[in-house]
Amino acid sequence: MATLAVSNHHRHNLPLCEKIPIRNNLEKAIDLTTLLLLISLLLYRLLHLSHHGYPWLLAFLCESWFTFDFILGVNTKWTPLDFKTHPQTLLEREGAELPAVDLYVTTADFVLEPPIMTVNTVLSLLAVEYPAQKLACYVSDDGCSALVLYSLIEASEFARLWAPFCRKYDVQVRAPFRYFSNDDAVSTSGGDVNSSEFRLEWKQIKDEYEKLKRKIEQAIDGTAPFELSGEYAAFANTDKSDHPSIIKVIWENKENLPDGLPHLVYLCREKRPISPHHYKAGAMNVLTRVSGVMTNAPFMLNVDCDMFANNPKILLHAMCSILGLKPEDCAFVQFPQAFYNELKDDPFGNQMAVAFETVWRGMAGIQGPVYAGTGCFHRRKLIYGFSLNEADNKALRKVDDETLLNKPFGNSVEFMDSVAKTFSEPVNGKNDNIGPQDLSSTVQAAYHVARCGYEDATAWGSKVGWKYGSMTEDVLTGMKIHAMGWKSVSCMPSPPGFLGTVPTTGPAVMTQTKRWIAGLLQILFSKNSPIFATFNAKLQFRQCLTYTWILIWGLRSIPQLCYAVLPAYCIIANSHFLPKAYEPVMVLFVAQCLIQNLQILRSYHRCGQSVCAWWNNTRMGKINAATSMLFGVVSFVLNLVGISDIVFEVTHKESANSSTSTDATDNNKDNMAVNTGRFTFDKSPIFVPPTTLLFVQLTALGLSLLEGARDRVGLGEYLSSVWVVMCFWPFVRGLFGKGKYGIPLSTLLKSAVFALIFVHLCRQTSATG
């Protein structure tokens, strides 16, 4: 007895979550050197402004921007921090006392987001290591698809085998498609995998999964009869953007069994053409309310439909931070985004591996990482708009007053109950206010809060819930939380907590980046701008700089494009924007360029990334500047002046099984392997600017070959022009590629016309100048 007490006491002193500052003195020294070089170059340009023409001035302006940008980046990475969590300690200390968590999965389109993918994500959550009676999984379907409901119903049957199997054999990856993939590293379990019993069960479960997959596939391609009757009658005559709500409790853990299966609820909110639905933010708010009247857990996890739980201990890791840190230091716990369909060397420069290592840890050392939309644990309390400081505590007492509650949260009595409970419970939500025992009795209330008019004249989307007004609702919602003075925490366990899909085709990459850019600008130029928030609210100054750095992402396209056009312009118009190679100051230019790029290369090396990945990212940075970033800025401006709306175009997610698909012939597979990561194109106008830019550079280089060297152009301009062509190499290949690998003829023609006009104008200025 005595020893037990001692060891318990001892355990109580062990930390659940530790903050570990990362040393980076060398980084700091190199960054300061780069900064010094950048500033001296700017001074040099400024001093010699009067001796040079417009290209020099333009170069000065662009480089001023780059320097500003660089400073913001250095600020972010100045004081990096890691968090280390101890799930074992948590289990020993808390055991059955762990708080309840509501799990949200969003899907919006059964074609772009195959239901088997959503099913895998849901299965990985249902089988997670946590007392099952504390969990409820809610799937929001913005696509209003009976096929999604059907898939989930079938999946819940399978889950009854899957979850116990995972627990019994300590399976590491609990998304079946991944576990049954041929990858040995993935399919290992912790338990006794050599026993014949295991082999037998493994085979059975695999067969069951194959059956599930087949059923879903057949329902989708129509080879099995699937009628909108009975359970699915509600879907008859519905239109994706015009239908009532549909809510189904698919599975209920009636006996509250800790090793049973968590509740599973399908939810499709009402949509009407006249009422804005606010895309994902709107879906998240309905999830919040529906779960509020059903299970009302004090914490919630949200994932996109493609982001399965890759580490069965994620909930324990997250709880370590939530229970182990001061509440104000842990508003939300964000897992970095990582991907399972990554192509080698990041050909599209969108895997963000280095960004997650550097920017992420950097932010963790200020006020915490951004909320990245998926793989994030929130406190229900905070989502309801409450905060911990004195002033808000007063507001907290006020809200008990019915009349005040009524307005911001809407008019559901059941939901106000959730608000009152959430409000009064201790910050770390130890007293579980799990809702009514019987979920089906709450369905009526759930229908009420899922109605599309429910939010009219309430604070939803402004003070309460996920925030409206930006396509990147995640960054906005997280920033508002930081502006209330809270800190957030990053959680980077090994193996990574969640894995999802990353776009792997040119057009899909462009669509996604364009939406992000527009969404970020929507935040920058609004009343929610971080710049106001440092003055009026509690956003720390350095955190404000970091947010600004992220939000101006798209604006970078303007100086970058100007800078990329400069060499071609100078060559055609016989001008220059760089000193001559023999001028001593050239050393500074070269040094700056080398040091900055080597520093970036070094960070790639440290994150285990190849030189090739570094080059691909550098190159894609330039390509994005001429495509998605530019178009993001344009769509933001068009929206601002009221010409067009910004819509949330859902990212196409490759089917979870495509990598292991067996129907591809060997020949096909070879072709695919050769072309993996090769840039693809479509007819979108987004590919016109880079093609034009490429034509202009090629014309400039061609002309100087034909007409001989020009007196005012130096080596610097020629090299810069070649550099730009190298950056746009995927487009050079696109000139000769076939099918989706080739730039469409219409795009080529348009670009040629624009390039001709540009070259003509350059020649005119050189004639007059």
Ligand X SMILES: O=c1ccn([C@@H]2O[C@H](COP(=O)(O)OP(=O)(O)O[C@H]3O[C@H](CO)[C@@H](O)[C@H](O)[C@H]3O)[C@@H](O)[C@H]2O)c(=O)[nH]1
Site for ligand X, rule CB under 6 A: 106-108, 113, 140, 142, 279-280, 283, 304-305, 373-374, 471-474, 512, 515-516, 519, 648, 650-651
- φ, ψ for residue 579 (rounded to 5)? -65, 165
Task: Report the alpha-carbon distance of residue 599 to residue 80 in Å, rounded.
Answer: 16
Residue nearer to ligand X on the CB measure, 364 or 510:
510
Helix (H) or strand (E) holding 19: strand 17-21
Strand partners, 139: 105, 266
DSSP string, 77-106: HSS-EEEEE-HHHHHHHHGGGPPPEEEEEE
**Annotation-wise, does 304 bind a ligand?**
yes
Residue nearer to Mn ion on the CB measure, 304 or 455:
304
| Residues belonging to the chain | 769
In the list ligand X, Mn ion, none, the entry touching 630 (Cβ below 5 to 8 angstroms by class) is: none
**Annotation-wise, does 231 bind a ligand?**
no
In the list Mn ion, ligand X, none, the entry touching 142 (Cβ below 5 to 8 angstroms by class) is: ligand X
Contact between 309 and 499 under an 8 Å Cβ cutoff? The reply is no
Residue nearer to ligand X on the CB measure, 103 or 323:
103
- Piece of the chain touching Mn ion by CB under 5 A; list 158-166, 233-241, 301-309, 378-386: 301-309
- Whole-number minimum distance, CB 106 to ligand X, in Å? 4
Helix (H) or strand (E) holding 332: strand 332-334
In the list Mn ion, ligand X, none, the entry touching 102 (Cβ below 5 to 8 angstroms by class) is: none
Read off the amino acid at residue 337. Answer: Q
In the list ligand X, Mn ion, none, the entry touching 515 (Cβ below 5 to 8 angstroms by class) is: ligand X
Residue nearer to ligand X on the CB measure, 304 or 455:
304
Per DSSP, the three-state class of 107 is strand
In the list Mn ion, ligand X, none, the entry touching 648 (Cβ below 5 to 8 angstroms by class) is: ligand X
In the list Mn ion, ligand X, none, the entry touching 279 (Cβ below 5 to 8 angstroms by class) is: ligand X
- Whole-number minimum distance, CB 476 to ligand X, in Å? 10
- Piece of the chain touching Mn ion by CB under 5 A; list 66-74, 296-304, 319-327, 434-442: 296-304
**Annotation-wise, does 738 bind a ligand?**
no
- Who's near 239: CB < 8 A, 6+ residues apart? 144
x-marked contacts with Mn ion along 626-665 as a string, rule CB under 5 A: -------------------------x--------------
Residue nearer to ligand X on the CB measure, 464 or 476:
476
Token duo for residue 370:
């951004």
- Whole-number minimum distance, CB 17 to Mn ion, in Å? 28
- Who's near 148: CB < 8 A, 6+ residues apart? 107, 110, 115, 118, 139, 141, 266
Residue nearer to ligand X on the CB measure, 414 or 473:
473
**Annotation-wise, does 201 bind a ligand?**
no
- Whole-number minimum distance, CB 678 to ligand X, in Å? 22
Task: Report the alpha-carbon distance of residue 127 to residue 140 in Å, rounded.
Answer: 19
- Whole-number minimum distance, CB 751 to ligand X, in Å? 28
- Strand 332-334 relative to strand 17-21: parallel, antiparallel, unpaired? unpaired
For residue 157, count other CB atoms closer than 10 A to its CB.
15
Burial class (CB in 10 A: 0-12, 13-18, 19+), 741: middle
Select from 34, 31, 26, 68 the least CA-distant residue to 592: 34
Burial class (CB in 10 A: 0-12, 13-18, 19+), 3: exposed
In the list Mn ion, ligand X, none, the entry touching 380 (Cβ below 5 to 8 angstroms by class) is: none
Q: Which residue, judged by CB position, is nearest to ligand X in the bound state?
A: 373
- Whole-number minimum distance, CB 18 to ligand X, in Å? 28
Residue nearer to ligand X on the CB measure, 261 or 352:
352
- Whole-number minimum distance, CB 108 to Mn ion, in Å? 11
- Whole-number minimum distance, CB 652 to Mn ion, in Å? 10
Place of tokens 């019993």: 197
Token duo for residue 631:
């178009």
Strand partners, 301: 103, 377
Place of tokens 């990475």: 77
- Whole-number minimum distance, CB 653 to ligand X, in Å? 7
Read off the amino acid at residue 717. Answer: E
142 catalytic? Reply is yes
- Piece of the chain touching Mn ion by CB under 5 A; list 297-305, 325-333, 470-478, 535-543: 297-305
Select from 484, 367, 487 the least CA-distant residue to 76: 367
Residue nearer to ligand X on the CB measure, 140 or 151:
140
Residue nearer to Mn ion on the CB measure, 574 or 651:
651
- Piece of the chain touching Mn ion by CB under 5 A; list 304-312, 383-391, 472-480, 639-647: 304-312
3-state secondary structure 701-740: HHHHHHHCCCCCCCHHHHHHHHHHHHHCHHHHHHHHCCHH
- Whole-number minimum distance, CB 610 to ligand X, in Å? 25
User: Rg for the chain (alpha carbons), in Å?
Assistant: 28
Select from 265, 288, 233 the least CA-distant residue to 439: 265
Residue nearer to ligand X on the CB measure, 306 or 717:
306
183 catalytic? Reply is no
In the list ligand X, Mn ion, none, the entry touching 305 (Cβ below 5 to 8 angstroms by class) is: ligand X
Q: What would you measure as the largest C-alpha separation in the chain, in angstroms?
A: 96
Place of tokens 């931070």: 321
Identified catalytic residue from 141, 142, 306, 346: 142
Task: Report the alpha-carbon distance of residue 767 to residue 106 in Å, rounded.
Answer: 60
Q: 164-203: which residues touch Mn ion (CB under 5 A)? A: none
Contact between 48 and 69 under an 8 Å Cβ cutoff? The reply is no
In the list Mn ion, ligand X, none, the entry touching 83 (Cβ below 5 to 8 angstroms by class) is: none
Select from 301, 300, 288, 299 the least CA-distant residue to 415: 288
- Whole-number minimum distance, CB 717 to ligand X, in Å? 38
Query: What secondary structure letter does DSSP report for 52?
Result: S
Residue nearer to Mn ion on the CB measure, 303 or 445:
303
In the list ligand X, Mn ion, none, the entry touching 373 (Cβ below 5 to 8 angstroms by class) is: ligand X
Q: 698-737: which residues touch Mn ion (CB under 5 A)? A: none
Task: Report the alpha-carbon distance of residue 117 to residue 220 in Å, rounded.
Answer: 13
Per DSSP, the three-state class of 1 is coil
Identified catalytic residue from 474, 645, 663, 666: 474
In the list ligand X, Mn ion, none, the entry touching 519 (Cβ below 5 to 8 angstroms by class) is: ligand X
- Who's near 595: CB < 8 A, 6+ residues apart? 30, 33, 34, 37
Contacting residues toward Mn ion, per CB under 5 A: 304, 651
Binding site, annotated residues for Mn(2+): 280, 304
Which residues does the annotation place in the binding site for UDP-alpha-D-glucose?
A: 113, 142
Residues at the binding site are: 113, 142, 280, 304
Residues acting as catalytic residues: 142, 474
